[in-house]
């Protein structure tokens, strides 16, 4: 049942601009699948869905960036659209984004298998990126700034 529901979710978000969990619940109901907000929230996390900017200026659920893609091209697109500032603090990088987009930026970074990335932590408009050491943070921070 869970696998089927998650397949339907992926189909729904690939064919529709779904902005909220309530819209997703309604689309699932229309497809004959009843679900709760808590279940949908878990599905979104397990499927690693992110919110991306649409050409209309709204946000929609989308699948996270797949492994094996060129992470710098993906970062360029994401960061050009949503990053406001980038600062380095020893081995940490602090990224300020437009409201609501820090989680998407962190999720994208987490899924890119960046060699020196230890982990990320995101709030609403701020992401903390932990790198393996200060030099790795300095290099990566420089690369991010080139996109802005």
Q: What's the domain count of the chain?
A: 2
Let me know whether 59 and 81 are in one domain. Answer: no
> What pLDDT shows up at residue 63?
84
Domain that holds residue 137: 71-147
What is the SS3 assignment for 88?
A: strand
Closest by CA to 71, choosing from 125, 128, 116, is 116
> What pLDDT shows up at residue 69?
47
Let me know whether 103 and 129 are in one domain. Answer: yes
Element holding 146 (H helix, E strand): helix 134-147
Let me know whether 30 and 78 are in one domain. Answer: no
Contacts of 92 (CB under 8 A, 6+ apart): 128, 129, 130, 131, 137
98 burial level (CB within 10 Å; 0-12, 13-18, 19+): middle
Let me know whether 16 and 56 are in one domain. Answer: yes
Q: Do residues 76 and 147 make contact, with C-beta atoms less than 8 angstroms apart?
A: yes
Which residue, of 31, 63, 95, is where some domain finishes?
63
Let me know whether 34 and 75 are in one domain. Answer: no
> What pLDDT shows up at residue 103?
85
pLDDT tens digit sequence for 29-78:
999 999 999 999 999 988 888 888 888 888 999 887 544 445 556 666 77
Let me know whether 80 and 131 are in one domain. Answer: yes
State the Cα–Cα distance between residues 23 and 138, nearest whole angstrom.
41
pLDDT tens digit sequence for 78-135:
777 788 899 999 999 999 998 988 888 888 777 777 789 999 999 999 999 999 999 9
Query: Helix 37-46 vs helix 2-15: angle between axes, to the nearest 10 degrees?
Result: 80
């Amino acid at each position: 049942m869970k696998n089927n529901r998650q397949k339907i979710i992926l189909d729904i978000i690939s064919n529709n601009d779904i902005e909220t969990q309530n819209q997703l619940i309604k689309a699932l109901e229309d497809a004959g699948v009843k679900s709760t907000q808590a279940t949908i929230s878990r599905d979104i996390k397990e499927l690693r869905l992110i919110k991306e900017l649409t050409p209309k200026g709204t946000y929609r659920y989308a699948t996270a960036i797949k492994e094996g893609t060129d992470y710098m091209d993906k970062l360029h697109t994401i960061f050009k659209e949503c990053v406001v500032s980038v600062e380095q603090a020893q081995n940490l990088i602090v990224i300020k984004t437009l409201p609501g987009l820090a989680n998407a930026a962190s999720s994208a970074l987490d899924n890119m298998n960046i060699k020196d990335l230890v982990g990320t932590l995101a709030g609403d408009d701020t992401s903390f990126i932990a790198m393996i050491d200060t030099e790795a943070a300095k290099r990566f921070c420089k690369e991010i700034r080139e996109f802005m």
